[in-house]
Amino acid sequence: MKYHPLPAELFINNRDRLKKFMPKGSMAIFNANDLMPTNGDGTMPFKQNSDLFHQCGVDQEETILIIFPDAHRKAHREILFLTETNDHIAVWEGEKLTKEVARERTGIENIQWLSAFPALIKSLMSEAQTVLLNSNEHLRAKVVVETRDMRFAKDLQEKYPLHNYGRLAPFMHKIRSVKNPHEMDVMRRAAEITTQGYLRVLKTIKPDVTEYVLEATFMHEFLSNRSDGFAYTPIIAGGKNACVLHYIENKDVCKDGDLILFDVGAVYANHCCDVTRCFPVNGKFTERQKEVYSAVLRVQKACFDLLRPGVYLDEYHKQVGELMTEELLALKLISREDVDKQDPDWPAYKKYFMHGTSHFIGLDTHDVGLWTEPIQEGMIFTVEPGIYIPEEGLGIRIEDDLIITADGYENMTSGIPKEIEEIEEAMRG
C-alpha cells in the first residue's frame, strides 16, 4: 500500500458500531475479495472487500474476519485470520502482515494464520446461535462471478445446514453510510489530493492537448501524493464527448472553443473522492457556455441547502428536478407545454438532465446507504447536477463532495475552482 497506515481507532470504532446491531448470540464472518486472474499467469490489481476493510483495515487477500461479541471465551470475540508469511512469499510478492503489525493496525488481539481456521470454525459454530454472512447487496450491483463471500456461504451452509443464517448487508449499509471522525479525515485527504490534481491540470489545458495527456497529468499528481490512483475510471471529455455520461475513452484532441468535462477523483486508503468540473479549452467561456454553466451552478448551490438531516433522498431528488425544470425553461430548452404534458415517471427535464443528483460516497465511489431512512449527520454525498445538449456539443456537470453536519455541510472539494471568473483567472495564471 502506498498510503500511510490508518489509526486502529477507526476500525475499533467501526466494529463497535456493528456490534450494536448484531442479534444476541450471533457471529459475523467477512471474507477478503478474490485475487482475480487476467490471462496466462497475470492477475488484476487487488481491490479489497469494502466491508472487510471497513471493519479491520487489512488490505491483503485471503483474509477472514470473525466478530462474535457473545462468545464464551474473550479471545474468540474478534479473530482475524491471515496468510502466513514466509521467506518465499517475501521474495516473490513482498512480505505479508505479521501478527504483531496486524494487531497494531487493526486493534484485534487474536490474530491467527489461515491454517487455524478449519479447527476454530468448528468450535465457534457449535456456540453461535445465528451466523451473519456478507454479500454485495448494492442496489446497482451486477454480480456475474461467484465471489469469495458467496462460495464461503455455500460451503458453510452445506457443512452446517441446521444453523440460523442472516444477512450482514443491512447492518453494513447503515453503519458505512455514517462516517466516524477518522473516516472523515481520510476522505478529506482523498479530496485534498484530488484538488491538487485539478489545480495542476488547469495549468495544462490548451487547444490541441489530448484527453489522455490530461488523464496522465492527474495520475502523476495522484501517485505523487500516495494515492493508489483513480477512484474510478476517469472521464475526460472534450466538446460533444461530454454528452456521453460514461465516456471513458479519453482519446480525442481538445478543440479551441469547446468545454472539457472532467469527472475525476483520487482514492486514498481505499476511500474515494468524486469530482466533476468543466473548463474552457482556450481559457475563456463563450456567452452560451456561460449561460448553461451558470444554470447548472445555481442548481448545485441550491442543492447544498436541500441536503439536510431528516430529509429523504427521493424527496430531495424531486426538489432538484423542480429546480432544474425552471432553469431549462429559462434556457428555452423545454417549454411550459412540455412540463404540463410530462410523464411523471420521466419528467420533461430528464431530456437534458437524465441522471441522479447525489449518491453516497466512501469506501466505494457509489457507496452503500439506505434510501428508506432519512439523511443523518456524518453522511457524505456527491452533489452533481448537469445539463447535456448533444445538438450543441455541450455537456456540463458540476460535482462536489459534502459531509452533512448538524446545521449545514462541509464541502471537501471547494478548493477546486468552479465560479466562471475563478476558472478563467486560474487558466490565465
- Using one digit for the tens of pLDDT, what is the confidence trace for 138-147? 888 888 888 9
Tally of CA atoms within 13 A in the half-sphere of 264 that contains its CB:
33
Question: Per-residue pLDDT for 367 more than 70?
Answer: yes
Residue 92: per-residue pLDDT: 64
Mind listing the pLDDT tens digit for each residue in 8-17? 999 999 999 9
> Coil, strand or helix: which one is 184?
helix
Report d(CA 428, CA 406) in Å as an integer: 39
Q: Mean of the pLDDT values across residues 393-412?
A: 97
Average confidence (pLDDT) over 107-114? 98
At 59 the pLDDT is: 95
Is it the case that residue 411 has pLDDT exceeding 70? yes
Compute the distance between CA of residue 72 and CA of residue 70 in angstroms, rounded to an integer. Answer: 6
Using DSSP, state whether 305 is helix, strand or coil: helix
As a whole number, mean pLDDT of residues 96-103 equals 94
Radius of gyration, alpha carbons of the chain: 24
Residues 6+ apart with CB under 8 A from 265: 190, 194, 230, 231, 232, 272, 273, 274, 275, 365
Angle at 404 between CA 399 and CA 406, to 5 degrees: 150
Count CB atoms within 10 A of the CB of residue 142. Answer: 6
Dist. CA 217–CA 290, nearest whole Å: 26
Cβ–Cβ < 8 Å for 414, 189: no
Phi-psi sector, 225: left (phi>0), alpha (psi -120 to 50), beta:
alpha
243: Cα within 13 Å, side-chain hemisphere:
12
- Give residues with Cβ within 8 angstroms of 63, minimum separation 6: 31, 32, 52, 56, 80, 81, 82, 83
The confidence band for 37, taking pLDDT boundaries of 50, 70 and 90, is: confident
Position 90 scores a pLDDT of 60
State the average pLDDT over residues 312-331: 97
Would you call 38 helix, strand, or coil by DSSP? coil
Q: What is the pLDDT of residue 142?
A: 84
C-alpha cell at 348: 420533461
Q: What is the pLDDT of residues 271-300, one digit of tens each?
A: 999 999 999 999 999 999 999 999 999 999
Average pLDDT over every residue of 395-421: 97
> Percentage of residues in the chain with pLDDT exceeding 70?
98
Calculate the average pLDDT of the chain.
Answer: 95
pLDDT at 85: 76
Q: What is the mean pLDDT of residues 253-264?
A: 98
The helix-helix angle for 211-224 and 181-202 (nearest 10°) equals: 140
pLDDT at position 308, please? Answer: 96
Element (H, E) at 317: helix 313-330
pLDDT of residue 145: 87
- Concatenating the DSSP letter of every residue in 237-300 gives EEGGGGGSTT-----SBPPTT-EEEEEE-EEETTEE--EEEEEETTS---HHHHHHHHHHHHHH
* Contact status, residue 396 vs residue 299, Cβ threshold 8 Å: no
Q: Which domains does the chain have, with CATH numbers?
A: 8-177 (3.40.350.10), 181-428 (3.90.230.10)
pLDDT of residue 139: 80
Query: Strand, helix or coil at 183?
Result: helix
Q: How far is CA 334 from CA 287, 301, 340, 374, 397, in A?
A: 20, 22, 11, 32, 19
State yes or no: pLDDT of 194 exceeds 70: yes
Tens digits of per-residue pLDDT, 122-155? 999 999 999 999 999 888 888 888 899 999 999 9
User: Which DSSP string do the residues of 44-109 spell out, in sequence order?
Assistant: PPP---HHHHHHH----SS-EEEE-TT-SSGGGSEEEEEPPP-HHHHHHT-----HHHHHHHH--S
Residue 87: predicted pLDDT: 65
* pLDDT (0 to 100) of residue 124: 97
pLDDT at 1: 80
Cα distances (angstroms) measured from residue 69 to each of 20, 25, 77, 130, 294 = 10, 8, 5, 12, 53
What average pLDDT score do residues 97-117 get? 96
Is the model's pLDDT at 89 over the cut of 70? Answer: no
- Please, what's the largest Cα pairwise distance for the chain? 74
Q: Is the pLDDT of residue 88 over 80?
A: no
Q: Which of 72-86, 225-239, 372-386 has the lowest mean pLDDT?
A: 72-86
d(CA 383, CA 303): 7
Q: Which of 120, 221, 191, 136 minimizes the C-alpha distance to 361?
A: 191
What was the pLDDT predicted at 94?
65
33-to-68, 101, 146, 151 alpha-carbon distances in Å:
21, 21, 11, 11
- Lowest-pLDDT choice from 31-35, 140-144, 224-228, 254-258: 140-144
Q: 67: closest CA among 155, 160, 183, 175?
A: 175
Q: Are 365 and 232 in contact (CB under 8 A)?
A: yes
pTM: 0.95
